[in-house]
Amino acid sequence: MLTYLIRRLLLVPPTLLGMTAIVFFVLANAPGGIGASLLSRDATMRPDQRRVREEYLNRRYGLDKPKIVQYLRWLNKVSPIGFASFSEDDPQVRAAAAEAARLPPGPDGKPAKPRIRPGDLNLKRPVLKMPDLGDSFVRGRPVLQLVAEALPVTIMLELLSLPLAYALAIWLGIQQARRRGSALDYTLSGITLALWSVPSIWVSVLLIGFLANEQYLRIFPTTGLNDLDAATMPFLPRWTEAGFQEGWLLDRLYHLVLPIICLTYSQFAFLSRLARGALLDNLNADFVRTARAKGLAERVVLYRHAFRNSLIPLITVVVHLLPAMVAGAVVVENVFGINGMGKLFVDAAFQRDFELLLSITLVTGVLAVTAYLLADIGYAIADPRVSYE
């Protein structure tokens, strides 16, 4: 298992290289190149502002160089491993200089040659560094700050909706498999198929129109993750002399109800049909008939034997669900006005903020390959027969 994970980790850099290279060269070959959005966005830009942006672009990308060189320069900036020149203050250089000072003179009376010469300082060495994602001139802030603010919001939505979708789907799939061919099975199959077919943007608009509209049912808020006065709220709900205070946590959950419904329903519908089919296949397998012949209780046969083997396709599909849910988050975050990665991506695309688009692509790629690794580990946990040796 460890050997397999090491091999998979070695495939991560080529995967990210390919993903970022495609996006970079598409943006670089767009009209005006990679810096078009920074230089031509505002016709009233002052000469000093334009000069600052031109210097930034030349320093970061080298726009007078070929596009492959521009990509490599950007890659060196965003990579946690970079290359830097030696300086006279480096510990290695200072130690070598001290060692040279202690060396005795040569036979001709001249000082001994040190191991590090002045020309060696021009050599490059690998160093660990903080990734430099650049600056967003459209927003006037570093890209790393924007991503650090938006990424936790999207991860929170995914971590709430995906387990909820799996829990509902597994329970519903088990109920349908136990009652195969019944009226309940046919009814639930029709409902899940209909839910799977409905686009999330349409459901989002309907939920806002009926459940967050004063003309119908003003139950839930329409936008954002908290009320405007959330910063002054206590974290947990409590009773005071003025009455009940919902608190920051309850207010956040209250705002998340509609977005979580929109992110969950289609994945839940798909997963429930998958769980039903996988469980039916295992209920007809030989090992289940053997377990029943031994006199095991039906509940033990269902959950301990059939259900565990049915987890394999559910784990497999999570790798494909995560990118789909990220795409769904783009719709949901923009409809409900949630400042996550999806909304940040759409805003960057409309504003032609290429620096931000490249960084979002990089972060999404890292999350995708991480999901693949977690799925491989889940295979081995769910089914001991799976071996990667």
Contact by Cβ (8 Å): 24, 71: yes
Please write the tens of the pLDDT for every residue from 129-161.
778 888 887 787 888 899 899 989 988 888 899
CATH of the domain at 192: 1.10.3720.10
pLDDT for residue 260: 92
The verdict on 173 and 93 lying in the same domain is no
Let me know if 246 is exposed, middle or buried by CB neighbors in 10 A (0-12, 13-18, 19+): middle
Residue 189 lies in a domain: yes
Residue 30 lies in a domain: no
The verdict on 179 and 117 lying in the same domain is no
The verdict on 171 and 318 lying in the same domain is yes
Least confident of 50-64, 76-90, 191-205: 76-90
Please write the tens of the pLDDT for every residue from 276-322.
888 888 888 888 888 888 888 888 888 888 887 888 788 778 777 77
pLDDT for residue 69: 85
pLDDT category of residue 36 using cuts at 50, 70 and 90: low
Residue 36 lies in a domain: no
The verdict on 88 and 163 lying in the same domain is no
Token pair, residue 264, equals 């969950």
The verdict on 116 and 152 lying in the same domain is no
The verdict on 156 and 206 lying in the same domain is yes
The verdict on 122 and 168 lying in the same domain is no
pLDDT category of residue 254 using cuts at 50, 70 and 90: confident
Indicate if the pLDDT at residue 387 is higher than 70.
Answer: no
**Domain coverage including residue 123:** 81-97+112-129
Q: Which residue has the tokens 């070929």?
A: 66
Neighbours of 327 (CB within 10 A): 12
The verdict on 218 and 320 lying in the same domain is yes
Indicate if the pLDDT at residue 375 is higher than 80.
Answer: no
The verdict on 116 and 172 lying in the same domain is no
Please write the tens of the pLDDT for every residue from 168-226.
988 998 888 888 888 888 998 898 888 888 888 888 889 888 888 878 888 888 888 87
**Number of folded domains that form the chain:** 2
Token pair, residue 365, equals 């790629």
Residue 25 lies in a domain: no
Residue 232 lies in a domain: yes
pLDDT for residue 127: 67
The verdict on 202 and 232 lying in the same domain is yes
pLDDT for residue 92: 63
Q: 93-111 burial, b if ≥16 CB within 10 A, otherwise e? A: beebeeeeeeeeeeeeeee
Tell me which residue of 230, 228, 259 sits closest to 343, measured CA to CA: 259
Residue 63 lies in a domain: no
Answering whether pTM is above 0.85, one says no
The DSSP result for 117-157, as a single string, is -GGGGGSEEEEE------EETTTTEEHHHHHHHHHHHHHHH
Indicate if the pLDDT at residue 97 is higher than 80.
Answer: no
Residue 359 lies in a domain: no
Residue 221 lies in a domain: yes
The verdict on 288 and 153 lying in the same domain is yes
pLDDT category of residue 38 using cuts at 50, 70 and 90: low
Higher pLDDT, 363 or 118: 363
The verdict on 88 and 212 lying in the same domain is no
